[in-house]
Amino acid sequence: MEQHINQLVQWLQETVKETNSNGLVVGLSGGIDSTVVAYLIKQAFPEQSLGLIMPCKSADQDRDDAELVIEESGIKHMTIDLTDQHDSMFSTIKQQIENQGEWNSDKEQIADANLRARMRMSTLYTVAANYNYLVVGTDNAAEWYTGYFTKHGDGGVDIVPLLHYTKEEVRELGRALGVPNKIVDKAPSAGLWDGQTDESEMGVSYDAIDAFLNGESVSDNDAEKIEMMHERTAHKRALPKSPPDFHHFTLE
């Protein structure tokens, strides 16, 4: 893993240089993916890296864990609480749709959750613009393949250094970087509602997704679920769909 860490750090440094940026910013949730990214960007840019804690009705434990990451990694940081802004924005939108008598309460939880992820994205880009930094994503290979992220939310980023690493490999990177065990061993959660865990929501374990990605055998049931998630989320990994070119010119 040492070699991977060196290569990733070097890639981060080269990418910042190539893009004429000044550094890197990441949202810090207290989960292993953003923790590994925080340690990597701190190594790549000790003074020009930033971790943002953005609580939004988040569990106290997640905030404590994010603060532990800051303490242990030494990364520069800010806390921007989005709870009130999210409440205000969500209730305004809900009210307007309710006025039409068209509010779909079955979709309330997921709509509320995805707005949190998109408000974090907007916050990260506002901070990135101020410092001329790039926004670093935290998606790993398992999340990317299954599309387990919010389109233009946590998926709305400039670079994704962990894209080729399975969840277990991200944990291995974490151990090699010296991330505290309690963070490495914590159950993955998007933290978008009380008690949410990735594995219970997806109905398939990261071990199974990792095995599938490694070409190892998994149950038919797991393979079917993974393939279905992959197909349904193809749009999240593609550019916006456009009609055929009806004009006689080509956009560059």
Ligand X SMILES: Nc1ncnc2c1ncn2[C@@H]1O[C@H](COP(=O)(O)OP(=O)(O)OP(=O)(O)O)[C@@H](O)[C@H]1O
Binding site: what residues are annotated? 27-34, 118, 138, 143, 151, 158, 167, 189, 235-236
Q: Which helix (H) or strand (E) holds 89?
A: helix 83-99
Identify the DSSP state of 79. Answer: E
Q: In the bound complex, which residue of the shown chain has the CB atom lying closest to Mg ion? A: 31
Please, which contacts does 40-46 make with residues 24 or more away whose CB atoms are closer than 8 Å? 40/5, 40/8, 40/9, 40/12, 40/161, 40/177, 41/12, 41/75, 41/136, 42/73, 42/74, 42/75, 43/5, 43/9, 44/9, 44/10, 44/12, 44/13, 44/16, 45/12, 45/13, 45/16
**Catalytic annotation present for 210:** no
| Options 42-50, 85-93, 149-157, 164-172: segment touching ligand DND (CB under 6 A) | 149-157
Residue nearest to ligand X (CB): 31
Closest approach of Cβ 43 to ligand DND, in Å? 23
Q: Does 209 bind ligand X (CB under 6 A)?
A: no
Binding-site positions for Mg(2+) read: 33, 143
Relative orientation angle of helices 2-18 and 167-177, to the nearest 10 degrees: 90
| Residue from 12, 16, 21, 31 in contact with ligand X (CB under 6 A) | 31
Query: Is 143 a residue of the active site?
Result: yes
Q: What minimum distance in Å lies between the beta carbon of 6 and Mg ion?
A: 26
Beta bridge partners of 24: 49, 134
Q: Which residues are within 8 A (CB) of 108 and not within 5 positions of it... i.e. 6 or more apart?
A: 94
- Among the listed ranges 69-77, 93-101, 109-117, 177-185, the one in contact with ligand DND (CB under 6 A) is 109-117
SS3 161: coil
Determine which one of 65, 143, 154, 222 is catalytic: 143
Binding-site partner at residue 73 among ligand X, ligand DND, Mg ion, none, CB < 5 to 8 Å by type: none
Please state, in angstroms and rounded to a whole number, the distance separating the CA atoms of residues 111 and 102.
14
Residues designated catalytic: 33, 143
Residues in contact with ligand X by the rule CB under 6 A: 26-29, 31-34, 52-55, 58, 62, 120, 138, 143, 154, 188-191, 198
Residues in contact with ligand DND by the rule CB under 6 A: 110, 113-114, 117, 143, 148-151, 153-154, 190, 192, 198, 201, 235
